[in-house]
């Protein structure tokens, strides 16, 4: 096989691979964003679980319809301060309109739904859905013991 032919084959296969991934991401857009949302929420939960141990601070996640806020508890002023705010991409929304979760010492210690404190009997599911494919349920399951995991891919 000549060197030129080899080069053509390599370049075209790389081009094909990249374009097929891009095409797939266009067709599978909603599903992709749904997965990405759950992944980012999960990874941020992992981050702040660890930070709550290392920095000895409490962190709070507030999930609203179009965004979620992360706050920390200021031990000196004794109030919550906003740390970061993230929006959901596309038309993705959570199933619960107003959910509050508090992370303390690397564990989820507190749940509040629409301003009302909840004690979990077994588990709580925070589903995310896109209006285009509302039949698919993907989200995060929070257990009574303070553990949680993402599910539904």
Summarize as ranges the residues that interact with another protein (CB under 8 A).
21, 24-25, 28, 31-32, 35-36, 38-40, 42-44, 46-47, 50-51, 54-57, 72, 74, 76, 81, 84, 149-153
Which of 48/111 has CB closer to another protein? 48
CB 138 within 8 A of CB 32: no
Please identify, using beta-carbon distances, which residue of 113 and 146 lies nearer to another protein. 146
Q: How far apart (Å, rounded) are the C-alpha atoms in residues 109 and 97?
A: 20
Shortest distance, CB of residue 122 to another protein, whole angstroms? 20
Q: Which is nearer to another protein, 113 or 141 (CB)?
A: 141
CB of 30 to another protein, least distance (A): 12
For residues 76 and 87, give the distance between their C-alpha atoms in angstroms, rounded to a whole number: 29
Using the CB atoms, write b or e for 44-58: b if 16+ within 10 Å. bbeebbebbeeeebb
């Amino acid at each position: 096989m000549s060197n030129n032919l080899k080069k053509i084959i390599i370049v075209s296969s790389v081009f094909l691979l990249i374009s097929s991934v891009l095409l797939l991401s266009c067709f599978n857009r909603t599903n992709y964003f749904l997965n990405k949302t759950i992944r980012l929420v999960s990874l941020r939960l992992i981050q702040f679980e660890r930070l709550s141990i290392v920095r000895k601070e409490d962190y709070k996640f507030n999930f609203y319809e179009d965004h979620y806020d992360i706050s920390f508890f200021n031990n000196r002023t004794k109030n919550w301060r906003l740390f970061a705010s993230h929006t959901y991409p596309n038309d993705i929304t959570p199933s619960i309109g107003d959910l509050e979760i508090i992370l303390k010492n690397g564990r989820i210690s507190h749940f509040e739904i629409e301003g009302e404190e909840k004690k979990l009997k077994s588990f709580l599911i925070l589903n995310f859905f896109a209006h285009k494919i509302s039949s698919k349920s993907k989200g995060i399951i929070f257990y009574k013991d303070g553990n949680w995991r993402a599910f539904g891919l």
